[in-house]
Amino acid sequence: MRPVHQVLVVEDDETLGSGLVASLAAAGYQVRWAKGLEQAIGMYRSASADLVLLDLGLPDGDGLELCTIMRRDDSPAVVVVVTARAGEADAVAALDTGADDYVVKPFRTQELLARVRAHLRRRESDGADELRSGGLRLDLSARRAWFAQEEIALRPKEFDLLALLVSEAGTAVRRERLMDEVWDEHWTGSTKTLDVHVASLRRKLADAGDRWDRVSTLRGFGYRWEAGA
């Protein structure tokens, strides 16, 4: 099951913001809406986003500050600036800061949605050998993991377990499947080893700076990676 894409809308105009949220939700995205810079920074830091629609002229600051923070954090999220600033210098400044696209208001909603789809397709194609979620990045080819810019030292089974959970983000995964795929379908030892590995993953993620316990325990069933935590 492919995780639902997370979109963060940063827009202080009530009419425009509510319209964007409704259109994105109708298109199948999970949407959060920030109406100011500080709120947007807080939402970015507390939960993952695949794409950000970013207004620049916010009541409490310039939206480019969020873009600067995201690129400094090496965030993989797509940033699409949506602004009334039509000048070439403004567009150049935004793109140089790390924005992926620049859309001038007023815009056609369906065209903006088409841009969103195109950027997310490109992002998935570019990251075919990677998994990303909530600041976590897994390089499947190199078998390496990072949270933000902090590399996490994982044992082989820890990496396999984390990769499986993240690949099924938001979906409950049975203990039996985790044991079969990460260990072996003929494993005869105790399934307690699964719980030990999950506890180790939680500790290592926390040590790397993740403030959220993203691995939810589903008693009597298994575990779930919380993509939007």
pLDDT tier at 186 (50, 70, 90 boundaries)? low
Cα-based distances in Å from 95 to 91, 127, 212: 6, 21, 31
Per-residue pLDDT for 39 more than 90? yes
Angle at 100 between CA 78 and CA 82, to 5 degrees: 90
130-225 shares the fold of 6-126: no
Q: What is the pLDDT of residues 138-151, one digit of tens each?
A: 988 889 999 988 89
- Is the pLDDT confidence value at 33 over 60? yes
Domain ranges of the chain: 6-126, 130-225
> What class does CATH assign to 130-225?
mainly alpha
Exposed e or buried b for every residue in 162-194, given b needs 16+ CB within 10 A?
bbbbbbbbeeebeeeebbeebbeeeeeeeeeeb
pLDDT mean over 70-87: 91
Per-residue model confidence (pLDDT) at position 211 = 82
Is pTM beyond 0.75 here? no
159 pLDDT higher than 70? yes
**Please, what CATH class does the domain formed by 6-126 belong to?**
alpha beta
> Is the confidence at residue 123, as pLDDT, over 80?
no
Say if residue 1's pLDDT is above 50.
no
